[in-house]
Amino acid sequence: MKNYTQLTEAERNQIYALKQAGHQKSAIALQLGRHRSTIGRELQRNCGERGWPQQAQQLSGQRRQEKAKLKISEEIWHIVNDLLCEDWSPEHISGWLSATKNLQVSHERIYQHVAHDKQQGGTLYIHLRCRKKRRKRYGSTDRRGTIKNRVSIDHRPSIVEERSRIGDWEVDTSGRSCSCHLGRTEDASYRSCPE
């Protein structure tokens, strides 16, 4: 995957000149070596005013500066961590930070922070009130409900099939819906019928 690079001022001037000459977005994109959607976004966002390449460059710089300001400091993350350990929900933390500290940290960003902490071996996720729905990742096998070192019924000893000794247990489960299950455990020797 290639890294995205922002348009330079020279590229914006070139887009402006090619657009004035009547070229289509795809032709401009091909000439600049950019994707046509990049050219389309640039024209949609900044086209229309006289001298727009210079204005577009200034607006781009302002957006980058504002983005840099939005980075959350370690001090704020310490506050968030402390509140999470007190079993506050990310929604409450976000609202409290906005009301008392005049800080804008979205609840979704806090959830991302908790997920990152869990990946690093942290325990912040334990303090969440309810777990988020587990999503299966494509290309991976679902390991829920599997028993480690499970031995198939085909590989059990033949003496168990004879049902002659006490202590070999069989378990049967049945149920029609997800909410109702019936489990039954019995000694295999009791199921044998005398002939």
From the first residue on, what is the mean pLDDT of each consecutive set of 10 residues in the chain (195 residues)? Answer: 72 84 89 88 71 71 65 88 93 92 88 91 88 67 75 80 77 67 66 53
Instruction: Say if residues 171 and 184 touch (Cβ distance below 8 Å).
Output: yes
Number of domains the chain contains = 2
Per-residue model confidence (pLDDT) at position 92? 94
pLDDT at 78: 92
Q: What is the pTM of this model?
A: 0.39
Whether residues 63 and 22 fall in one domain: yes
Q: Residue 37 is part of which domain span?
A: 9-69
| In a shared domain, residues 14 and 55 | yes
- ∠162-164-169 over CA atoms, to 5°? 85
Q: Are residues 63 and 83 in the same domain?
A: no
What's the pLDDT score for residue 120? 92
Residue 100 lies in a domain: yes
Domain endpoint, select from 49, 69, 89: 69
What is d(CA 89, CA 86) in angstroms, rounded to the nearest whole number? 9
